[in-house]
Amino acid sequence: MKILIIGGGNMGMTYAQSFLRSHIAGKDNMMILEKSPEKAVELSQKDIGTVYGLPEHCVSQADLVILAVKPQDSAHLFSTLRPYVHPQQVFLSIMAGVKMAAISDALGVQKIIRAMPNLPAQIGMGMTAFTSSDEVTRIELVTVQNLMNTTGKTVYVEKESAIDAATAISGSGPAYVWFFMKALIEAAREMGFSPSEAELLVSQTFSGAIELYNASSLSCEEWIDRVSSRGGTTEAALSTYRSNAVHDDIIAGAVAALRRAEELGR
């Protein structure tokens, strides 16, 4: 299978490197289309496949085309790609908010998979939700899922609207975690810890809590109950969070991310 990745940014390169590292694809079958001449030179030195600067030199050769550009650039991208695509190609889009119907109309293709990965894919710990058009065959879907599985875990969703929801939860989610971590690190600094001590306290606490959660069948609320004791320190912190509606604000933030994903699709 010849793979063309359009866009040499974080996710495009994450895919290229993950595919090669897992030996699910080889350099001879990997192509990258990058419009920036400077970036293209940089990518060509990484030895991850053949780098192109113009679509007419590579698009028609691909069996799988991965659209890894910003959604704001999609309209211009589609106009440059359309003359070179053909009906049997499979298109995998990770552009937030851009609907499969929009891709189909703009490119005149039917085999479309839409996915939303997240940044931890860079270390093989990503979470990707994906869906597909009816024209994608079972074999094609499994093949693409195997490729995406090289970056972490995947879940197939029946409704395309769930991709926007996944964008708000798992796509943007790492930033929410780092936002909370940053606040705790600042709190630790104010309590007298050095920067390195504060970062270690917080990062190890998050890592340990997640590992503990994943290793059990207990819910978040049940784990909270195990840490908390009546009149204790944890209860004091949680009481403050609740009185300041932190729980509701987190949900409101995720909903705001969903609304923005939907806006990008329009």
pLDDT tens sequence across 45-73: 888 899 999 999 999 999 999 999 988 88
Q: Flag whether 82 is in a domain.
A: yes
Whichever domain contains 82, its CATH number is: 3.40.50.720
- Distances from the Cα of 38 to the Cα of 26, 48, 56, 73, 185, angstroms: 24, 16, 19, 19, 37
Q: Give the model's pLDDT for residue 120.
A: 96
Helices 100-107 and 74-81, interaxial angle, to 10°? 40
Q: Which two tokens stand for residue 236?
A: 């004091």
Q: Flag whether 235 is in a domain.
A: yes
Q: Flag whether 167 is in a domain.
A: no
Q: Are residues 221 and 101 in the same domain?
A: no
Q: Flag whether 163 is in a domain.
A: no
Q: Flag whether 94 is in a domain.
A: yes
Angle formed at CA 22 by CA 206 and CA 41, multiple of 5 degrees: 95
User: Considering the entire predicted model, what is its pTM?
Assistant: 0.88
Rounded to a whole number of angstroms, the distance between the first and last alpha carbons of the chain is 33
Q: Which two tokens stand for residue 167?
A: 């964008």
Q: Are residues 180 and 260 in the same domain?
A: yes
Query: Residue 148 sits in which domain range?
Result: 3-158
Q: Are residues 117 and 11 in the same domain?
A: yes
Q: Which residue has the tokens 């990258």?
A: 32
Q: Are residues 127 and 213 in the same domain?
A: no
Q: Are residues 101 and 189 in the same domain?
A: no
Q: Are residues 69 and 145 in the same domain?
A: yes
Q: Are residues 21 and 92 in the same domain?
A: yes
Q: Flag whether 164 is in a domain.
A: no
Average pLDDT, the chain: 94
Q: Are residues 13 and 126 in the same domain?
A: yes
Strand order in the sheet with 50-52: 50-52, 30-33, 3-6, 64-67, 90-93, 112-116, 126-132, 152-156
Q: Is 229 exposed, middle or buried (0-12, 13-18, 19+ CB in 10 A)?
A: exposed
Q: Are residues 214 and 259 in the same domain?
A: yes
Nearest Cα neighbor of 167 from 202, 124, 134, 130 is: 130
Q: Which residue has the higher pLDDT, 128 or 8?
A: 128
Domain boundary, last residue among 113, 135, 158: 158
The residues that bridge with 90 in the sheet, in sequence order, are: 64
Q: DSSP character for 23?
A: T
Domain boundary, last residue among 134, 158, 182: 158
Q: Flag whether 165 is in a domain.
A: no
Q: Are residues 11 and 77 in the same domain?
A: yes
Domain boundary, last residue among 158, 186, 220: 158
Q: Give the model's pLDDT for residue 188.
A: 98
Q: Are residues 144 and 259 in the same domain?
A: no
Q: Which two tokens stand for residue 173?
A: 């989610």
Q: Which two tokens stand for residue 96?
A: 């937030």
- Distances from the Cα of 224 to the Cα of 14, 232, 244, angstroms: 35, 13, 18
Q: Is 228 exposed, middle or buried (0-12, 13-18, 19+ CB in 10 A)?
A: middle
Q: Give the model's pLDDT for residue 158.
A: 94
Dump pLDDT digits (tens) for 81-93.
999 999 999 999 9
DSSP structure string for 137-185: -HHHHHHHHHHHGGGEEEEE-SSTHHHHHHIIIIITHHHHHHHHHHHHH
Domain count, the chain: 2
pLDDT of 105 strictly over 80: yes
pLDDT of 77 strictly over 80: yes
b/e for 177-203, b at 16 or more Cβ within 10 A? eeeeeeebbeebeeeebeeeebbebbe
pLDDT of 264 strictly over 80: no
Q: Flag whether 75 is in a domain.
A: yes
Q: Give the model's pLDDT for residue 32.
A: 95
Whichever domain contains 256, its CATH number is: 1.10.3730.10
Provide the 10 A C-beta neighbour count for residue 80: 15
Q: Give the model's pLDDT for residue 69.
A: 93
Dump pLDDT digits (tens) for 192-242.
999 999 999 999 999 999 999 999 999 999 999 999 999 999 999 999 999
Q: Are residues 13 and 116 in the same domain?
A: yes
